[in-house]
Structures are given as structure tokens and as C-alpha cells.
Amino acid sequence: MPETRYVFVTGGVASSLGKGIISASLAKLLQARGYKVTIQKLDPYLNVDPGTLNPYEHGECYVTEDGAETDLDLGHYERFLNVPTSQANNVTTGRIYQNVINKERKGDYLGKTVQIIPHITDEIKRNIKLLGSKHKYDFVITEIGGTVGDIESLPYVEAVRQLKWELGNHAAVVHLTLVPYLNASGELKTKPTQHSVKQLLENGIQPDVLVLRTEHELSQDIRRKVALFCNVDSKAVIQSIDVKTIYEVPVKMQEEGLDEIVLKKVDLPIDEKPALKDWKGFLNKLHSAKETVKIGLVGKYVELADAYKSIIEALHHAGTYNDRKVKIELIHSEELTDKNIADKLKGLNGVLVAPGFGHRGIEGKLTAVKYVRENNIPFLGICLGMQCAVIEYARNVLNLKEANSREMNERTSDAVIDLMEDQKNVTDMGGTMRLGAYDCNLKKGTKSFDAYGKPDVKERHRHRYEFNNEYIDAYAKAGMQAAGCNPETGLVEIMEIPAHKWFVGVQFHPEYSSTVLKPHPIFMAFIKAAINE
């Protein structure tokens, strides 16, 4: 077992270049060579975690098994590597400062002036090294959020500089930049990359590998030029050209030799190139699927597809394994009315109602649920989507016209969805929901049981409200039943309508645990039902 190697991934020139995908791809290639690999994201903002951020600000909040609310890049890490991440895989500036200030109050630095350097940088370094020492990974790939040159990123860049010095040939820095193409002159421009590397050098870091995002092939000449100006080997100038799907990136990075350059840099042998058989098998299936299945995704953040990242990816995984291309139609819940619903959902093979918080868009979600229920269209409701299914059934089938979730109307006469008992005294908003993986027992003969093919499952959660068990018999009598419950508390995890073709609402988030090589059973069954629609 080799000593832990540390790879740092920084970004320059522009944000949103896909550091997460490059990190995940490199990790995949190293994992395919038999190494134990993990990826960590350091986020330079002051929120302790992204749980309190609006999805418009930051995209989806991804939840790990251990209940951490994290950056959506962790979703990519899990989807690529097929191994769970944890709180240790996502650290923000807020958390770093919180730890340091807590230590200061405890007296850990007694007598000393607490400063950004060395105390904040030491705390950053401790969090990076923790994954290697505690969890015994061969590789820890640390992605530094933001762009080099940002004031906020400085302590992280300084921590990387120090670690690189300390770790010597057990550390490598991969810097991701953009090579823009100027249409008017028909030229690819490397100057922004040169400037961004200069910026890194000013901060004391010589990158070992440069990954250049580009829309056009980079010639050998361009690579040589970048190598010359940036003091790297020309083999270490790697092109990352736009591809149709992010899942092609590991294959492209292998062709470019990214893993081999990193292995050489950190003094590990370069054995045979892994075949990536399963991965390429998935890609083949993805590309060869001819028929399409059309899924409507009803939510209130549809202007920003990143808000539903894991759901969208989970749909594509399940579609691929069902030999279908998935066409996802993002439908704004605020635009749905009784009048236009038939038109808005026309031609869809299945409808998914998304998770969410608060009242906005709720009536449109209820309208969508009613329509698919009455028209026998396959339906998957996730978290708030499941709660909407429960409310709609109460209003239109149980005839409880005022039925609602306590979240939407505190004074409702029929709170079919109510605040969980242990949430009643919660005042802090950060990290206080029911979070992470909990057991769920499935009832035999239900669609969910058939989907999983086993009685006991564990799924991830992120909610404060739950199905109100006082109504469970009324629902059962009226044709909607609990198909899964938490064995300890009896909390309803799944509601189904047995008479419907496929109508499943889940309180948990199956999308978080769907991976490229392991599509999620609930999504698989939903797509299957949609195909046979």
C-alpha cells in the first residue's frame, strides 16, 4: 500500500470550467488502476455548508449518507466512483473559520494571536490530510473551489503551496484553464492560460499539469507554446475538448494520458492501461439507444437545471440501462393550471414532481399530480413531490378540501403532512433537518418492493415534514397505501396507489445514490413503467 498521494485541482481564467468533472475523471482512472481514491471539495464561501443556500445561488444541495449537506460536485464524485462520500469531503471557509474560532474559545491557542496564516491555513491543511490519514486513501484529490486570483481562494492556495513543499513528490497540482476561440480571427488564444499560471506562480505554486478546456482541437504547436511559457512538460499540457456527455471525459482524459502524468509526478509505477470495460459499456449503451422516453420534471427552479442535477443524472442512468434516450422536459410548476395542464403534459411518458421548500409553485405541483393520477401516467414524487401526492389525494379523493402540509399552511384543519415531532423545537436553520441515510422496510407486493427486489433498504433524506400517520387508515381505505416505513419510528417513507399503473411517492431522495454503474432501482422501475405506458 503506497503512502497517500495528494492531488490538488485548481482553476483559472473562468469559473464553471468543470473542475469537478476533471477531478472525478482523474479519480476514476486511478481507481481503475486499483488505487483507493477519494475526492474532496473546498469551497471558499462563508456559509458553514450549502444547506442554507437557495438553489438559484448554488444549484442542488447534495446529501451524503452521513447526513452532510454538500456541494453538488460530490454528486459527480459518487456517480463516477461508486463509493460514498461524507462530511469530510466538503469543507467550506465557514466551517474552517468556525473550527478555528471554536478552538480559540476553548483555549487551544492560548497566548497566541490567531491569524489567517498559520491558523486558518493549518486548519485547511488538517482537513485535507485527514482524509488520507484517517481513511487510508491512496489518493486524495482536492478540488479548490473558485478561481485562482479570487481574494477568497487565497488561504487555500497558500495551504496548497505549503503542502506541496511538505509533501514533495507525493503531491501534484493540476490546473484547469480555458483556451478561448476567437471566431473573428479563427484563432485559439493561450494568453489567458499564461496569465492564470503566472498568478499561481506569484502565489508560489508551479502547476505540474495543465488541463485546457477548449471547443476546438489544440495543435501540438499550441501545446508546446503553453508548455514553454508555463514551465511544464508538453506532455503535461492536456486538452479537454467539449464532449456530448460528461461521462466521456474519463475516456478522453485517458487518451490524453492524464492519469499517467500524475502517476509519474507522484512517483508511482505506470502499469498497464486499464480497459474501463464497464464504463465504456455504459457509454456504448448511452450512445446506441435509439428510442426515446419523455419525462416531465415539474419543479420551481427549472430555469437552472443544476438545481436538479442528481435527478437529471439518475434519469439518464436509468434510461440508458433501459436502452432509451431520456428527453427531459423541465416544467415550471408556477405556470401550471387546470386549464393548461393537459397541454403542458402532452406527449410525456412519465412525470416526476421535484423536491422543494416553501409555498411557491405548490398549486401547480398539485395540478400535475392530479392529472397524472387521473390519467394513469407513471408518476414519481420525490420528497416534497411525495408530500404533494398525499395532499392532492386528500383534497380530491378523501374529500378533505382544506388538507395541506403544515409547511404551507400552519393552521390547516387537515395537516396530512405535518412537522416531525423532533423538529418542533428546532430554531436554527443550518444542518437541523432529518438528514442522511435511514432504514426503510418495504411492504411485499408493492411497486417499490418489486423495484428493489428486497425488503430492507437505506435511503438518504432531507426534510422537516412527514406523512401524518393519523390519516393512514383513511388513505388505505381510499386506495393509497404506505409501501415503505422506517422500522423504528413508523415514519412513512413511500406512498403508492396500487390501482394506478405506477404511482410512487418517496419521502427520501433516491437520486443521490444513482451512479453510472449502479442505476437506482426506483428510477429504473419508473422509466420501465414510462416505456410501457
Please pick, among 230, 383, 388, 440, the residue that the annotation labels catalytic.
383
Q: Which of 97, 193, 190, 139 is nearest to 5 (CA)?
A: 139
- Based on the residue annotation, tell me whether 509 is a catalytic residue of this protein: yes
> Does the footprint of ligand GLN cover residue 94 (CB under 6 A)?
no
How far apart (Å, rounded) are the C-alpha atoms in residues 459 and 506? 10
Is 485 a residue of the active site? no
Q: CA 380 to CA 168: how far, in whole Å? A: 51
Q: Of the two residues 60 and 158, which places its CB atom closer to ligand GLN in the complex?
A: 60
Q: DSSP secondary-structure letter at 119?
A: I
> Between the CA atoms of 340, 357, 474 and 450, what dihedral angle is there, to the nearest 10 degrees?
90
Close Cβ partners of 115 (under 8 Å, ≥ 6 residues apart): none
For residues 376-395, which are near ligand GLN according to CB under 6 A?
Answer: 383-384
Does residue 69 belong to the site contacting ligand GLN (CB under 6 A)? no
How far apart CA 69 and CA 428 sit, in angstroms, is: 15
Q: Which is nearer to ligand GLN, 258 or 384 (CB)?
A: 384
Query: What b/e string do you get for 306-327 counting C-beta neighbours within 10 Å, with b at 16 or more?
Result: ebbbbbbbbbbbbbbbbebbbe
Interacting positions 399-438 with ligand GLN (CB under 6 A)? 407
Q: For ligand GLN, which stretch binds (CB under 6 A), given 171-179, 224-232, 301-309, 355-363?
A: 355-363
Q: Considering Cα of 445, then 448, then 453, then 459, what sign does the dihedral take?
A: negative
462 binds ligand GLN (CB under 6 A): yes
The rounded distance, in Å, linking the Cα atoms of 530 and 533 is: 5
CB of 464 to ligand GLN, least distance (A): 4
Q: Measured from the CB of residue 111, what is the shortest distance to ligand GLN in angstroms?
A: 46
Asked if 365 interacts with ligand GLN (CB under 6 A), we say no
Residue 369 as a binder of ligand GLN (CB under 6 A): the answer is no
Contact with ligand GLN (CB under 6 A): which of 356, 378, 436, 521? 356
Q: Find the part of the chain contacting ligand GLN (CB under 6 A) among 105-113, 324-332, 457-465, 471-479.
A: 457-465
Site stretch for ligand GLN (CB under 6 A), options 37-45, 100-108, 141-149, 461-469: 461-469
Q: Does 463 help bind ligand GLN (rule: CB under 6 A)? A: yes
Annotated catalytic residue: which of 58, 463, 511, 520? 511
383 among known catalytic residues: yes
Please check whether residue 236 is in contact with residue 230, taking contact to mean a CB–CB distance below 8 angstroms: no
At 90, list the grid cell.
Answer: 466538503
Instruction: Name the residues that contact ligand GLN, by CB under 6 A.
Output: 355-357, 383-384, 407, 462-465
Residues with a catalytic annotation lie at 383, 509, 511
